[in-house]
Structure 1
Amino acid sequence: MAHLIPVVWINRYGTSTGDVHYYFVGVNHFFPDTMTEYPVIGALPAHLVNLLPGGEDAYINWFIALCVATSAVFTAWLVYMDSSPSHRAAWFWIMFIGLSGPIVLTRLDLFPSLTVAAFAALLFARTRAARRAAAIVLAVATMMKLWPGVLGAALVGGFRRRSTWARIGWFFGSLVVICLLIAAVSGVDALTTPLNYQSDRGLQIESLAATPVMLAASFAAVGDTRWSISYAASKSFEIIGPGAGIMTTVATVATAAMVLFALGWAVTRLIRDDWSPMQALSFSLTMVALIIATNKVFSPQYITWLAPSVAVALLVSRRRIVAVLAVEVLVTALLTTFVYPVYYDWLMVVPTATQAVVILALRNVGILVIAGTALWWAVTAAREDVTAFPVTSGRRGSSRR
């Protein structure tokens, strides 16, 4: 039922389908260099939909239907795995779909995000084979959207444990195999182009780093040319003007610090030998929030990166902090919907509308709060029970000791 909210929204107002139009153009090669920013595996759902009958309008409907079906399968899995009467993980996901508006069903980001959730769930499996499969799934997610690669630090455990090196080996080995297959089928450029695209991006108006500049631009007088917002080659709206260069540098430094934090976490686990699936999941959620917070870009669909893994967290942990994290994600998702598509037109002009920028700022504060909550969970997760989620043994609780 919750899926009807974005579907009706899209059909009633015809909004948020620009990216799906772009996918249609890209997979049919109507123009050169379309969708070259997408990794080959990440674009597979767009190519799959193109095999179905009909023209562009049908393509959009098929794409939305694929997203609805995929989300429905995930919802059913959440219900199946949670034997508690509340089914809070499934209800969280349902509410997320409803509060996120049309964005979840009109972007490719749903698919790598669910793949990361599969990685998170497999970490809690009782067999070594399943945990090694988690490393393989994370490698696939990395080749779908790049950012999951940072989560490889979550696989690191004690230096002397063979399980540590098995997880790391399966992760990097899978990456190598996938890269070789892509290079053989699509050429080396298919591997390098998405990386080059990310490095060339400017300061997108929705990013955390852009927020002070957007606030300054909201106080500009009509006709003030110090700031300008335009659709850039990065296929997003970017702001230039006083403060933009500084904040771009801040975002770059913050991203580097985020990577160093991930490396520091991995080294700490090597030395302390205290790895657990719960630590890996909580750390992964922390990293996803930090990736979003430090990025020069914060497209509205990025909030989808968090939600599936939070749903898994609600299955495996009964701590209050996880419920708080889920509420924070829902609130941030709702604010994101107000940013896009509700107020987005008001953000693309100078002076930017004050109320739109305030909502944008609140949404961006929300992602910082999420990062802080996830980090607190990560540093306190070692004492949690990690045997309560038999992923490969039916319903949660069916084979508990």
Structure 2
Amino acid sequence: MPPPPARVRIPAPAPAPDPGAFGRRTRYVALAVSWLATRALMLHLLVSDSLGVGGVSGEVYVLYRRWYEQLGTGTFPFGDPTWQYPPGAGALLLVPSLFPFLTFFQAFTAVTLGCDALIARALLRAGARPGGSESGAWLWVGGLPLLLHVPYGRYDVQVTALAVGALLTLRRRPGLGGALAGLGALVKVWPLLALIGTPPGRATRRAGLGALASVAALLTVLALAFDHTLDFARQQGSRGLQIESLGGTAYQLAHLVTGHPARVVHRYGAMEFTGRYVSALATASLALTGLALCWLVLWRVRARRWTVAVPLDAALCAVLLFTVTSRVISPQYLVWLLGLAAVCLTSRQTSQRPAAQLLLPAAALSALAFPCLYEDVIAGTALGTAVMTARNALLVAAALVSCRHLWASTVTSSTTTAAITPRTEPRTP
């Protein structure tokens, strides 16, 4: 009997190469190289600190170091008019103690640089999801250097990392997203606004509970471990009108037109105006903040369409409104706005692309005002006033455009907005 024929194994066909894989790898490499090059330049500018008035790194060398040493004794800064931050900021300033082999300045800068890298990585991963876009990562990598070395001389990158993490986590794990927003709120209050756009229902409840739990837990630990935990609140009510705020620009323009004297003093860690009408302008700023809050509440009540991009868009819109109506608009506030704009651009459904584009020249003008031309801004020269007017005009335009597009994409009935695929509630585990 003849032997059975041998089985011939036909190899499975090799998978077809992904035509877009090479392009993605190339873009990722380009993004990494851009991040390394721009961050090296920012670090060089921070160490040399010779642009304009200088003193950017002095916040870390002197002020933050002084607070760090006092916190090391078990007490928050007491009776210090420059300490105006919630107690979570104290915990953040103690993080450099985890690196005893580095000086405080080196450790603080390393932490800031690490948070910057984490934000870029998180934005890139979010953009790689279905329906995502790499534009957010590119905006962050290319937009932050427009502020020169200011972001590395403040701790706003760390706070922005918490807000970015909260927004990118809300969709799948709203409880964790709320907890991150709560931690950010205990450092600088604004990250709590990241929750304003959570879809109605269980997602909002879980995010709110997560925020409350994290705030209560961290606040309890800090209150038990330190003295004078809530002393920061004493310094908030007495703040005046900062020269870089919207009201400050109006005051400076009136000074140029009418010749009304404008006196600038250093108070509460910032340059502020004093004199006639300053109190009225500060009160008007608070009133505008109240109106902004009313508009956000009205939007929340009227909103009917909730996509994956709405929580991101609403967070940027809310922070923009509270920024432009504030009595203080420090240059580092642009770090927050760039981070939130970058999160919005990780979704192709975002309505905030025009607002994000306006923030890029606003960031460049902020760096031009401080530190490059800060002496002109303080003196109220035509050049300094023109730069501040242009910067604040861009911020106002961005806020108005943001409001308009958020309202149109969620409230106004139109064939354009109706085409967006609705999602009533994020998927939760």
What TM-score, normalized to structure 2?
0.78
Shift of 1:205: 0.5
How many pairs align? Answer: 370
Q: Which residue does the alignment assign to 2:339?
A: 308
Shift of 1:194: 2.7
Shift of 1:219: 5.5
> Quick one: structure 1 residues 60 and 163, their matched pair in 2 at CA, closer, same or farther if it must change by over 3 Å?
closer
CA contact (8 A) 1:206 1:360 kept: yes
**Aligned-partner SS, 1:239:** strand
Matching residue within 211, 231, 238 for 1:193: 231
CA contact (8 A) 1:155 1:168 kept: no
Q: Which residue does the alignment assign to 1:19?
A: 59
RMSD of aligned residue pairs (Cα, Å): 2.9
Q: Which residue does the alignment assign to 1:43?
A: 90
Find the aligned partners of 2:101 and 2:128 in 1 and give their Cα distance: 42
**Aligned-partner SS, 2:272:** strand
The residue type paired with residue 363 of structure 1 is R
1:153-197 per-position Cα deviation (integer Å, ceiling 9, x unaligned) = 33361xxx344433333333443333333322325x41x323332
**Aligned-partner SS, 1:42:** helix
Q: Which residue does the alignment assign to 1:112?
A: 159
CA contact (8 A) 1:230 1:348 kept: no
Larger CA Rg, structure 1 vs 2: 2
Matching residue within 298, 306, 312 for 1:264: 298
> Quick one: structure 1 residues 372 and 215, their matched pair in 2 at CA, closer, same or farther if it must change by over 3 Å?
same
Are 2:266 and 1:231 equivalent residues in the alignment? yes
> Quick one: structure 1 residues 392 and 106, their matched pair in 2 at CA, closer, same or farther if it must change by over 3 Å?
farther
1:300-343 per-position Cα deviation (integer Å, ceiling 9, x unaligned) = 10111111121111111255x53322221111110100111011
Q: Which residue does the alignment assign to 2:74?
A: none
How do residues 26-175 of structure 1 correspond to structure 2 at under 5 angstroms?
Answer: 26-29=67-70, 33-34=79-80, 36-53=83-100, 58-83=103-128, 87-125=134-172, 130-155=173-198, 157=200, 161-175=201-215
Matching residue within 207, 223, 240 for 1:183: 223
Find the aligned partners of 2:98 and 2:79 in 1 and give their Cα distance: 21
The residue type paired with residue 340 of structure 1 is F
The residue type paired with residue 141 of structure 2 is I
1:91-127 per-position Cα deviation (integer Å, ceiling 9, x unaligned) = 21111122111111111111111211111111232xx
**Aligned-partner SS, 1:199:** coil
Find the aligned partners of 1:6 and 1:381 in 2 and give their Cα distance: 37
The residue type paired with residue 203 of structure 1 is L
Q: Which residue does the alignment assign to 2:7?
A: none
CA contact (8 A) 2:181 2:195 kept: yes
Are 2:409 and 1:381 equivalent residues in the alignment? yes
5+ residue gaps, structure 2: 1-36, 72-76, 411-417
Find the aligned partners of 2:192 and 2:272 in 1 and give their Cα distance: 26
How do residues 293-372 of structure 1 correspond to structure 2 at under 5 angstroms?
Answer: 293-318=324-349, 321-349=351-379, 352-372=380-400
The residue type paired with residue 43 of structure 2 is V
Are 2:39 and 1:3 equivalent residues in the alignment? yes
The residue type paired with residue 293 of structure 1 is V
The range that moved more, 300-309 or 81-90, is 81-90
The residue type paired with residue 108 of structure 1 is Y
> Quick one: structure 1 residues 65 and 162, their matched pair in 2 at CA, closer, same or farther if it must change by over 3 Å?
closer
CA contact (8 A) 1:138 1:148 kept: yes
What TM-score, normalized to structure 1?
0.83
Find the aligned partners of 2:156 and 2:219 in 1 and give their Cα distance: 20
CA contact (8 A) 1:124 1:386 kept: no
**Aligned-partner SS, 1:120:** helix
CA contact (8 A) 1:124 1:277 kept: yes
**Aligned-partner SS, 1:348:** helix
CA contact (8 A) 1:205 1:238 kept: yes
CA contact (8 A) 2:99 2:107 kept: yes
> Quick one: structure 1 residues 257 and 195, their matched pair in 2 at CA, closer, same or farther if it must change by over 3 Å?
farther
Find the aligned partners of 1:186 and 1:276 in 2 and give their Cα distance: 43
> Quick one: structure 1 residues 103 and 392, their matched pair in 2 at CA, closer, same or farther if it must change by over 3 Å?
farther
Q: Which residue does the alignment assign to 2:3?
A: none
Shift of 1:371: 0.9
Find the aligned partners of 2:87 and 2:356 in 1 and give their Cα distance: 32
The residue type paired with residue 176 of structure 1 is A
The residue type paired with residue 19 of structure 1 is E
Are 2:250 and 1:250 equivalent residues in the alignment? no
The residue type paired with residue 70 of structure 2 is H
CA contact (8 A) 1:289 1:367 kept: yes
Q: Which residue does the alignment assign to 2:309?
A: 278
How high is the sequence identity, in percent, across the aligned residues?
19
1:240-286 per-position Cα deviation (integer Å, ceiling 9, x unaligned) = 223322211210111121222233334445xx5x5444222211111
CA contact (8 A) 2:352 2:406 kept: no
CA contact (8 A) 1:81 1:315 kept: yes
Find the aligned partners of 1:391 and 1:311 in 2 and give their Cα distance: 23
> Quick one: structure 1 residues 86 and 177, their matched pair in 2 at CA, closer, same or farther if it must change by over 3 Å?
closer
